Amino acid sequence: MPLVQIEKDRCKGCELCVRACPQEIISMSREINTKGYFYAQVVEQPRCIGCRLCAITCPDVAILIRVNGVSYRFFAY
Ligand code: SF4
Ligand code: SF4
């Protein structure tokens, strides 16, 4: 099962990943990060299908996807 990790302190709260996720399992936190932004978080990890759209979309490369023990940060289209 893929594991999506969002580095909250890299997030600028643009919400692009929220809109990109076909499973609608990313939402914005009600807390702020060290930059002062409401950050994105995965709320229903078990429903993730590993499509990578969130990671591809994030302009700040704040999203890592972990598959079979290997972490991926960059993806080509
Ligand atoms: S990999 Fe796909 S399904 Fe999983 S959180 Fe990212 S956009 Fe959503
Ligand atoms: S796309 Fe990246 S910077 Fe924008 S809200 Fe999502 S994690 Fe944060």
Confidence (pLDDT) at 68: 84
Nearest alpha-carbon partner for 55 in 31, 34, 7, 29: 7
Q: From ligand 1's centre to the CA of 36, what distance in Å?
A: 25
Domains of the chain (ranges, CATH numbers): 3-72 (3.30.70.20)
Cα–Cα separations (whole angstroms), residue 69 to 31, 64, 65: 29, 12, 10
- How many CA atoms within 13 Å lie on the side-chain side of 3? 8
Confidence (pLDDT) at 69: 84
Confidence (pLDDT) at 71: 84
Q: From ligand 2's centre to the CA of 69, what distance in Å?
A: 23
Reply yes or no on whether the pLDDT at 1 is more than 90.
Answer: no
Output the pTM of the full model: 0.93
Q: Are 38 and 13 in contact (CB under 8 A)?
A: yes
With a 6 Å cutoff on the Cβ, whether 45 touches ligand 1 is no
* CA-57 nearest atom, ligand 2: 1
Q: Are 29 and 63 in contact (CB under 8 A)?
A: no
pLDDT digits over 22-76, tens only? Answer: 999 999 999 999 999 999 999 999 999 999 999 999 999 999 999 888 888 877 5
